[in-house]
Structure 1
Amino acid sequence: MTVLNAQQLTFSYDDQKPAVFEKLDFKIENGTFGLLTGASGCGKSTLFKLLAGLYPQYGGQLLSGQVTLNDQNIAEIVPFARARKVAMLFQNPSRQFAMRTVQEQLQFALENLQLNPLKIKQRITATLVELGLEDFRSRNLSTLSGGEQQRIALATILAMDSDIILLDEPFANVDPAGRQQLLLDLKRLQQYHQKTILIADHDPSGYAKIADRLYHLGPHAHQIEELSLTKLPLKNISMTAVKPKSLNLGKLTWRQLAVAVNSRKLLTNSDFDLPIGQLGLLSGANGTGKSTLFAALCRQHHYQGTLTFQKKEAEKFKLKKWAKIVGIVFQNSSDQFITLKAADEIALSAKASQHPEYWTNNHIKQAIANLNLTNVLDQVCYQLSGGQQKKLQLLSMLIMSPSVLLLDEPFAGLDIDSLAAALALIKETVQSLQLSVLLISHQRLGVVDSIDYELRLEQQRLTLLGKGGVTASD
């Protein structure tokens, strides 16, 4: 039996700022499947890194208390021995990878556990087969979608066969079907392989028959409260398509658009006019090409067909000019930041805003307050929580206000209140400035009610969903 216990933890990233935790106690019950909830920025990821033994060695300072693994201070256990007992999946899957291909990544992780070559080979094959990922064995990690990377990162953790598995927002970029299957896979590990699993997730849907512990980390992060499982929603969010309203005439249009990655076709013969003053949802399973389509619309990926803005072909715009017309919020927030501190990031966006008359100082301050970012303005962008980074990234791009804005998984890592505030700000900006905004989000809970239309990408076709389903490809 493996016992992981946090005792009287007081942890801080900076001497000059309040501690993230003060005398926090938490014990993971052996053999349980737990869900940890809490607002964005409350310290869930920090707690996981402490439990995995990554902090304070790689960040911050432990001012009091300790984490023990089988009654031994986890900081005193050598990494490979520690990883055999406790494994952690990071919120950003790309930070988990050190190798080029899926096979190489899994092999590297298992070699670090000092397993013999035959056992490594057997375990890689067994994991890929169990998760239905055999076809990914030779794939280059850099060519995978965010959701596919998430699944491979999870496969790496599961292949390590650790007794305790900590998963930080593991389904943020995973489609609903994949999410439910992975939850079932994890439940099977808990039940039949006696694993202890703890997941930090802002979306509680799907856990009602899976989790047997529900924890909540409060806003002041002094203690973790165990809640009744009856607080979990019994039903998953409906997958009913968003019925489109009357779509407004758009400025960005494409005709016979085709997109591929190497020899793999993702989209063929697509025609669409992106509506102005309305918010659209681009849906589809992981790996269908949603992010690649966004890259093509930004002219950062090759495409075939005709792409125009105000009836002028995209190729006739210089790339610098096109970037001011079509903006994108990247899936990984840290890829977006240009400056070091949050306040500087917002100031830079305000300086470059295409609608300074709308984004006044008072309006920006109000938006910052609504997103609960006021107290992090003097912090380094890269040290913010995943949810705080998402909100900062989104606000910065909304302040820029390009005519067309593409949002790639802008709500990953956001609690329900942050999600509502972000959506309200997007809708207000879209309608006030008559922007064309299209977003990718696998999370439908709390999102679909704010959407004006939905495009589904599947089988190389882009379809406008609604009553009867109207194709946007013909």
Structure 2
Amino acid sequence: MPLFQSENLIYYYPDREKPALKDINLRIEEGEFLLITGGSGSGKSTLARVLAGLIPDFYGGRFGGKVYFQGRDMGQINRRKLAREVGMVFQDPEKQLVMTSVEAEIAFGLENLGLPPAEMSRRVAEALSFLDLTEVRQEFTAHLSGGQKQKLALAAILAMQPRVLVLDEPTSQLDPVAAEEFLNLVKRLNEEMGLTIILIEQRLERCYHLADRVVFMEDGQIKYEGTPEQLARWAVQRDIPFVPPVARIFARIGFPSIPVTVKEGRRLLRSNFDRREFPPLKPAVKAEPGEPVLTMIKVWFTYPNGKEALQDVSIQISTGELVAIMGANGAGKSTLLKTMAGLLKPGRGRVQVMGRDLSNKGRIGDGRIAYLSQNPNDYLFQDTVEEELLFALKNFALPNDGIVDELLEKLNLQRYRRVNPRDLSSGERQRVALASILVTRPRLLVLDEPTRGMDYRLKDELGELLTGLSREGVSVVLVTHDIEFAAAYATRVLLLFAGRIVADGPKHQVLGQSVFYSTQIGKMCRGYVDGVLTLQDALDRLAPAWPARQVVP
């Protein structure tokens, strides 16, 4: 008997004419690690909500077909009992946090289960330790970074020891090291404790190789399911980008064997290429900086609780630069962005934007600086997507000279023009929020995790949009944990550690010398083919050496 089984499942959200799910026939076995992937709005999160028992009871709408859990119709299972069996972590952690402190949040679910105090204390301690939250156990939850909030939501679910763990993009706000640690923990829970894992993820380089089976969804339907290797071959043959970079490069150069891990990729490199074919690249000549748009001089910032979030930060952003800021959760990245935008006043030092000092006067209120925070919901107030953009124009007394239609087209939002933005998926809401600040045609664009919730296609579209803006003279500064995105589109990378800048330079210099902050292809080629970070880099260097050679499988 499968753990889950759906038969001809179809589901419509309230007031929607198009089904979010249709003809879903899926079996999930006890102890399986299932990865669900696909584009934004493909139905991944909706399917997860069905498996967690939240649809249709919580979300309403029209529901057809059958879904069984351990052979029983899920509609007939007591909700309280089901909640003890299936735990779900949502894409937006703030939707799950209800208590004021970290420790109380983890204990909240256990108290509802009526566990003895000694058992609760042990489980809380284990969850805090597993997810590296011990140092912030007494912290006010509102003061946590986005990544810490996400880990807290995970800890609260794990403490209840469910049999099934449903995770909706759990690493979207985690830095590379923390994401790898968490996914390894999830794999351990699956292998050593027998938990069934249902993981929804966009950044496949982090988790693709961990899954027993992968399901690819499109337009509310399951288009393919199989092992990671089977899906990789199927997707590459159809030019579907939902495949990790290592698999894509070997498929693109015509390899009959497609690896899904860095280890397999390095083995194929060693077997089929002579490293002497790839002489070291000459160091890139650093371009002369253009006109400074933003200058920070010895900036310090300390929060009321005494935490020094920024320490002696001095940087200059020039016209047309596309700068990616990276670093661990809690390193001060979001604080740095808010200081750039004039939302926070530095305790010491100076911040100048386009010749104006923000250190004392605060932010420039004419739209020349545009800031997008981690949470797109902070920007959504109107009843339709179009009204959101028009509202921003009205706020700054700017004319609508076609910019609204232009941005809706560029960000693939035309079909949602009359839709309430709060009804959209997380990735779609992120694009609406971005459009609402771009209508002011800013000179300095400051973005905090803009790719969160976006699939490969949408990230490529966003990258092309930001690259186009930088060519037009807009300076773009973005915080991201998405190394693949930074490597593909940034011109410069800045690493922040404990409030201090520890690396600042061209992306190939900073990411190429990093162990953890490197791309999947960069890790595969390290020490073998230098100067490779992206798929295009690998094609440029590997493809010419590939023709007419005997393949060693």
TM-score, normalised via structure 2 length: 0.78
Contact 2:217 2:223 (8 Å CA) reproduced:
yes
| Alpha-carbon shift at residue 441 of structure 1 (Å) | 0.9
Q: CA deviation at 1:36?
A: 0.7
- Provide the rounded CA distance (Å) in 2 between the counterparts of 1:441 and 1:468: 18
Give yes or no for contact 1:189–1:195 (8 Å, CA) kept in 2.
Answer: yes
Q: What's the CA shift for 1:124?
A: 0.8
Match of 2:496 in 1: 457
Q: 1:61–1:201: structure 2 CA closer, same or farther, 3 Å change rule?
A: same
Relative to structure 1, is the Cα distance of residues 2 and 229 closer, same or farther in structure 2, using a 3 angstrom cutoff?
closer
| Structure 2 residue 352 is the aligned partner of structure 1 residue 313 | no
Deviates more, 1:404-413 or 1:227-236: 227-236
Superposed displacement of residue 112, structure 1: 2.2
* Counterpart for residue 534 of structure 2: none
Offset, 1:16:
5.1
The equivalent of 1:257 in structure 2 is 299
Give 1 or 2 for the bigger CA radius of gyration.
2
Which residue of the partner structure matches residue 181 of structure 1? 181
| Structure 1: segments with no counterpart, 5+ residues | 470-474
Q: Considering Cα pairs closer than 8 Å and 6+ residues apart, tell me whether 1 or 2 has the greater RCO.
A: 1
Flag the structure with higher helix content.
2
Contact 2:345/2:359 (<8 A) preserved = no
Identity %: 27
- Residue 459 of structure 2 aligns with an amino acid whose one-letter code is L
The residue number in structure 1 matching 2:457 is 417
Alignment partner, residue 445 of structure 1: 484
**Is 1:291 aligned to 2:334, yes or no?**
yes
The one-letter code matched in structure 2 to 1:465 is: G
Which one-letter code corresponds to 2:437 in the other structure?
A: M
Task: From the superposition, tell whether residues 452 and 109 of structure 1 become closer, same or farther in structure 2 (CA, over 3 Å).
Answer: same
- Mapping for residues 67-466 of structure 1, pairs under 5 Å: 67-218=67-218, 220-223=219-222, 225-230=224-229, 231=232, 233=244, 234-235=260-261, 245-261=287-303, 262-304=305-347, 305-315=349-359, 317=361, 319=363, 321-322=364-365, 324-351=367-394, 360-361=401-402, 364-432=404-472, 434-462=473-501, 463-466=503-506
For residues 69 and 457 of structure 2, what CA distance do their matches in structure 1 show?
35
> Does the 8 Å CA contact 1:245/1:452 hold for their aligned counterparts?
no
Matching residue of 2:11: 11
Aligned to 2:54: 54
* DSSP 3-state at the match of 1:45: helix
Q: Matches of 2:16 and 2:293 in 1, distance apart?
A: 49
Contact 2:103 2:124 in 1 (8 A): yes
For 2:300 and 2:484, the matched residues in 1 are separated by 31
Indicate how the Cα distance of structure 1 residues 31 and 430 shifts in structure 2: closer, same or farther if over 3 A, else same.
same
Which residue type is aligned with residue 367 of structure 2? K
Describe the shift of the 1:468–1:76 C-alpha distance in structure 2 as closer, same or farther (beyond 3 A): closer
SS in 2 for 1:63: strand
Q: Distance in 2 between matches of 1:296 and 1:182?
A: 30
Amino acid in the other structure paired with 1:278: E
Instruction: Supply the distance in 1 between the matched residues of 2:2 and 2:120 (Cα, whole angstroms).
Output: 23
RMSD between aligned alpha carbons? 2.5
Report the secondary structure of 1:171's partner residue.
coil
3-state DSSP class of the match of 1:414?
A: coil
CA distance in 2, matches of 1:45, 1:208: 18
Shift of 1:468: 7.0
Amino acid paired to 2:370? G
Q: Is the 8 A contact 1:456 1:465 kept in 2?
A: no
SS at match of 1:11: strand
Change (3 A) 1:222 1:312: closer
Show structure 2 runs of 5+ residues with no match: 233-242, 245-259, 264-283, 511-553
Contact 2:6 2:67 in 1 (8 A): yes
Instruction: Specify the alignment match of 1:472 in structure 2.
Output: none
Question: Partner amino acid for 1:20?
Answer: A
Q: More displaced, 77-86 or 136-145?
A: 77-86
CA shift for structure 1 position 125:
0.8
CA displacement at 1:203 relative to structure 2: 1.0
After alignment, is 182-191 or 200-209 more displaced?
Answer: 200-209
Distance 1:95 1:323 in 2: 33
Partner of 1:400: helix, strand, or coil? coil
Give how far 1:140 is off. 1.6
C-alpha separation between the residues in 2 aligned to 1:138 and 1:16? 43
Q: Is the 8 A contact 1:403 1:435 kept in 2?
A: yes
- Whether the 8 Å CA contact 1:23–1:64 is kept in 2: the answer is no
Q: CA deviation at 1:364?
A: 4.2
Total equivalences in the alignment: 460
